[in-house]
């Protein structure tokens, strides 16, 4: 596709790629501009200007719901393919994404969520990427899931040089009121089965 100068210029400005990446990583969430600012770590005024600019370029849609503006990606197939080529500049996030998309091959794994220092953005070069791997215990045992994801984590470390540390979480435990699973509810979903 032909990508015009206004789009390239917009994507080069501060926060635009972070906002698009956040929306891609949270496809089923209804994110307001405040949510986008918090999750993408883009200052609120920068986020607001970026969203307005990306809406003018027909990359984002804004829907008014009560007192909030809900932001979603609104792209043609060609623009979607173009934006998928935008890499993750952080090697830890890149490794987390590579690991997460390999979960597609394991029946019973439903999603992955990023947490820990990498999710907060305060990690060092030698940090590990902590990823919660949510599984359906009826479809796959914890032993089988552990064996599969350990092999994939080793492959990712060998190819990227970044260690990914998976933590298994039962899908039915995400609804618990306390504990580790409850803490994961607002964490960034990297990959979800059935969602591109």
CA-only gyration radius of the chain, Å: 18
Q: Quick one: which H or E segment has residue 69?
A: strand 68-73
Torsion sign, CA atoms 181, 104, 190, 72: negative
Going edge to edge, which strands form the sheet with 109-115?
A: 164-170, 129-135, 109-115, 188-192
| 41-86 pLDDT, tens digit each | 889 999 999 999 988 888 888 898 888 889 988 766 556 556 655 5
pLDDT tens track for 127-164 = 899 999 999 999 999 999 999 999 999 999 998 888 99
- Between 85 and 9, name the one with better pLDDT: 9
Write the CATH number of the domain with boundaries 91-192: 3.30.460.10
The rounded distance, in Å, linking the Cα atoms of 23 and 73 is: 7
- Would you identify the CATH topology of the domain 5-84? Arc Repressor Mutant, subunit A (1.10.10)
Candidates 35, 119, 21; CA nearest to 71 is 35
pLDDT of 1: 46
- Domain ranges in the chain are 5-84, 91-192
Query: Rounded to an integer, what distance in angstroms lies between the CA atom of residue 72 and that of residue 36?
Result: 10
């Amino acid at each position: 596709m032909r990508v015009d100068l206004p789009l390239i210029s917009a994507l080069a400005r501060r926060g635009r790629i972070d906002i698009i990446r956040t929306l891609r990583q949270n496809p089923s969430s209804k994110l307001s501009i405040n949510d986008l600012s918090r999750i993408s770590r883009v200052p609120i005024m920068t986020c607001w200007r970026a969203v307005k600019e990306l809406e003018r370029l027909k990359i984002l849609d804004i829907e008014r719901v009560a007192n909030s503006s809900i932001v979603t990606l609104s792209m043609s197939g060609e623009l979607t393919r173009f934006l998928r080529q935008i890499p993750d500049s952080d090697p830890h996030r890149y490794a987390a994404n590579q690991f997460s998309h390999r979960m597609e091959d394991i029946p019973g794994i439903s999603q992955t969520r990023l947490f820990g220092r990498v999710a907060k953005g305060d990690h060092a070069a030698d940090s590990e990427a902590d990823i919660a791997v949510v599984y359906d215990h009826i479809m796959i045992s914890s032993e089988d899931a552990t064996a599969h994801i350990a092999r994939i984590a080793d492959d990712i470390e060998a190819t990227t040089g970044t260690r990914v540390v998976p933590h298994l979480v039962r899908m039915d435990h995400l609804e618990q009121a306390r504990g580790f699973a409850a803490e994961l509810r607002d964490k960034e979903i990297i990959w979800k089965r059935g969602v591109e």
